[in-house]
Amino acid sequence: MAQQTENYISASLAGTLDGLFRERLKRSEDKTAYTYYNDTQKAWTDMSWSEMAENIGRWQAALQNTALKPGDRVAILLKNGPVWVTVDQATLGMGLVVVPLYLEDRPDNIAYVVQDAGARVLVVQSANHWQRLFETAPHALKGVEHVVVVDGNVEHTECAEGTRIWTLKDWLGKTATPLKERGGDPDDLATIVYTSGTTGKPKGVMLSHRNILSVAEASGKATSLNENQRVLSFLPLSHTFERTCGYYTPMMWGMPIAYARSVQQLAEDLLKIKPNVLIAVPRIFERVYERLQTQLAKESRLKRSIFNFAVSTGWKRFLAEQGRGFRGPSQLFWPFLQKRVANNLMARLGGNLDLAVSGGAALPPPVAKLFLSMGLNLIQGYGMTESSPVVCANRTECNDPASVGPPLDGIEVRIGENDELQIFSPGVMLGYWNNHKATREVMTNDGWLRTGDKARIENNMVYITGRIKDILVMSNGEKIPPVDMEDAITLDPLFENAVIVGEAKAFLGAIVVLNSDQWFTLAKQHNLDPFDKHSLGNSKLQKTLLNKIGMALKDFPGYAKVRRVIASLDPWTVENGLLTPTLKTKRQLIMQKFEDEIDHLYAK
């Protein structure tokens, strides 16, 4: 359980998300709230709670000069950092509703969200972001009265639609408004978060202050947090997982937050910040795992043997600590293995991690085993935007990486039709914005939220077994969990992305994107021209790819065998619409893109 110190602020005391900040300001006024990299000074900079309050006050003074009324929407298209928090708190503190946007999302997607939410103010990171949005999707401006550009200058201060364009300097006044004790209703709408669905247009999830605070509090209580720990934040704050667990939960416990410069610089920032807590998605751990596998392949057989022995020994140690195994005589070597192997891996993560939380997707078993065996306190959780988002999480003292753990305090789970996991929680959304039909479809008659995930519950531990809609049914009746297989395939450094196909077919196929660096080496080994896309169809290369895929899927049943492969070098990205902003594959769009290749694959 988290330490309940005098510095801890409960959800009931906070009342609202802006109430949480005001209460934190009273208790921790001069303490460090945020650390960020100042691009102007080229140095890491600390910001106190009182300094943040002054920034919020200046934004509120600017918002007061508009015609906005409580309940109006403010859209935020910003990178992670104190400015995001400032705009969020200023907006919430005036009874307005926050609509977060993914900074790297496609302009047409951003335009749809801004339009659908009816945002009256749009805050944009830079002049470049604004120009890209305006040129590609000018219809996004309909109804937007003010656009605030944080970085850079703008050539025009007004658009034909009557929208006023502001630079940050012109938008903000020199004086700050004192933060109001507004006494808002905890059940008021706080934010509309658009889900990055893998098919169709995103839906706006309406979350109240109470929804988010209840889950933030329960998440904190599930772990041993304290105000002396520092969080490194790098996931988008537009992602509810990061916003709840990496922003509001630390505020409840008075924990300072450091903002990473970018995902690309994450490795350097880990070494600099040396965080105690890290909130991440599986892909981050997978990338470390893949780099280790690539490096090990270049090492001597002795070094590989030592590393594998360390993983095996550490894993036995972990299972023994969990009460699910015995240490055995190999533990005599652990002090040596820890010093030679485990400490080196932990040093890459900063050397001070007390807790790492993985969510947003399933953590592949080999990846979980590696980090847990090395001594990292890695906790896997489960949730969805519609539940604010966390539902379940493993605990340090009861951690089964094959499971997503028991439900958090105050949350109930059950198994419904088709083995579907269903949720009853104070974090369950108010509904979908302007979409009553979708709301009715996702809620049961007795008020439980349908997750769309297949699961089983054993000893109060929840095990996710697949997506109801994603399950492939082959022509022989065998049912295949494609996401699990795709995760296993992409653990091989050669494969950047993968999608399994084979609905109603006699065998499975795979569409894979090859790692460009690995491709050059592989092409050379097969005497192929790496710049000629026809090389991807070479029969010997195809056999090599299938062998690698087969090795990745060796632990799956025999009928889950991939017999044909479609290889590509063109990346799947958020920008080209094949990945969601949370880096999940848009399965249907990918299958449409490769429709001819798939038809040819099964016509052979």
pLDDT digits 0-9 by tens, 391-403: 999 999 999 999 9
- The mean pLDDT of 176-193, rounded to a whole number, is 92
Residue 221 has pLDDT above 50, yes or no: yes
The pair of structure tokens assigned to 430 is 């108010």
Per-residue pLDDT band for 201 (boundaries 50, 70, 90) equals confident
Give pLDDT, residue 2: 46
Residue 4 has pLDDT above 80, yes or no: no
Q: Provide CATH code, domain 472-603.
A: 3.30.300.30
* φ/ψ (deg, to 5) at 558: -60, -35
| Ranges in the chain annotated CATH 3.40.50.12780 | 17-184, 212-426+450-468
Helix (H, G, I), strand (E, B) or coil at 146: strand
The rounded distance, in Å, linking the Cα atoms of 283 and 266 is: 13
Q: Per the CATH hierarchy, to which homologous superfamily does domain 212-426+450-468 belong?
A: ANL, N-terminal domain (3.40.50.12780)
Q: How many other CB atoms are there within 10 angstroms of residue 475's CB atom? A: 11
Per-residue pLDDT band for 479 (boundaries 50, 70, 90) equals confident
Q: What is the dihedral of CA 218, 223, 228, 230, to 10 degrees?
A: -90
Q: Give the single-character DSSP code of 506.
A: S
Contacting residues for 200 by C-beta, under 8 A, at least 6 apart: none
Per-residue pLDDT band for 375 (boundaries 50, 70, 90) equals very high
- The mean pLDDT of 478-502, rounded to a whole number, is 90
Contacting residues for 5 by C-beta, under 8 A, at least 6 apart: 226, 227, 253
HSE of 171 in the Cβ direction (CA atoms, 13 Å)? 27
Residue 224 has pLDDT above 50, yes or no: yes
Buried b (16+ CB within 10 A) or exposed e, 161-193: eebbbbbeeebbeeebbebeeeebebebbbbbb
Point out the least confidently predicted range of 111-120, 294-303, 382-391, 476-485: 476-485
- The mean pLDDT of 478-504, rounded to a whole number, is 89
The rounded distance, in Å, linking the Cα atoms of 485 and 40 is: 46
- The mean pLDDT of 144-170, rounded to a whole number, is 87
The label of the residue with tokens 């007390």 reads 354
The pair of structure tokens assigned to 554 is 């060796």
| Ranges in the chain annotated CATH 3.30.300.30 | 472-603
Question: Chain-wide mean pLDDT for the chain?
Answer: 92
Q: Who has greater pLDDT, 476 or 45?
A: 45
Per-residue pLDDT band for 160 (boundaries 50, 70, 90) equals low
**Helices 107-117 and 127-136, packing angle to 10 deg:** 80
Q: Which of 191-200, 242-251, 468-477, 516-525 has the highest mean pLDDT?
A: 242-251
Residue-wise pLDDT for 522-531, tens only, equals 999 999 999 9
Residue 506 has pLDDT above 50, yes or no: yes
Give pLDDT, residue 461: 98
Give pLDDT, residue 560: 83
Give pLDDT, residue 360: 84
Give pLDDT, residue 200: 62
Largest Cα–Cα distance in the chain?
77
Residue 604 has pLDDT above 80, yes or no: no
The rounded distance, in Å, linking the Cα atoms of 287 and 27 is: 39
Cβ atoms of 43 and 22 within 8 Å: the answer is no
Q: Provide CATH code, domain 17-184.
A: 3.40.50.12780
Helix (H, G, I), strand (E, B) or coil at 580: coil
- The mean pLDDT of 302-318, rounded to a whole number, is 97
Cβ atoms of 426 and 387 within 8 Å: the answer is no
Give pLDDT, residue 197: 57
Q: Is the pTM of this model over 0.85?
A: yes
Per-residue pLDDT band for 246 (boundaries 50, 70, 90) equals very high
Q: What is the 3-state secondary structure (H, E, C) of 329-360?
A: HHHHHHHHHHHHHHHHHHHHCCCCCCEEEECC
Give pLDDT, residue 455: 96
Give pLDDT, residue 1: 42
- What are all long-range contacts of 357-360, with beta carbons under 8 Å and residues at least 24 apart? 357/223, 357/245, 357/277, 357/278, 357/279, 357/280, 357/381, 357/393, 358/280, 358/281, 358/282, 358/285, 359/241, 359/245, 359/279, 359/281, 359/383, 359/389, 359/390, 360/239, 360/241, 360/281, 360/282, 360/582
Per-residue pLDDT band for 3 (boundaries 50, 70, 90) equals very low
Q: Which of 38-47, 102-111, 285-294 has the highest mean pLDDT?
A: 38-47
Residue 476 has pLDDT above 80, yes or no: no
Give pLDDT, residue 196: 67
Give pLDDT, residue 243: 97
**DSSP per-residue letters across 377-429:** -EEEEEE-GGGSSEEEE-BTTB--TTS-BSBPTT-EEEE-GGGEEEEE-TTS-
The percentage of the chain sitting over the pLDDT mark of 90, rounded to a whole number, equals: 76
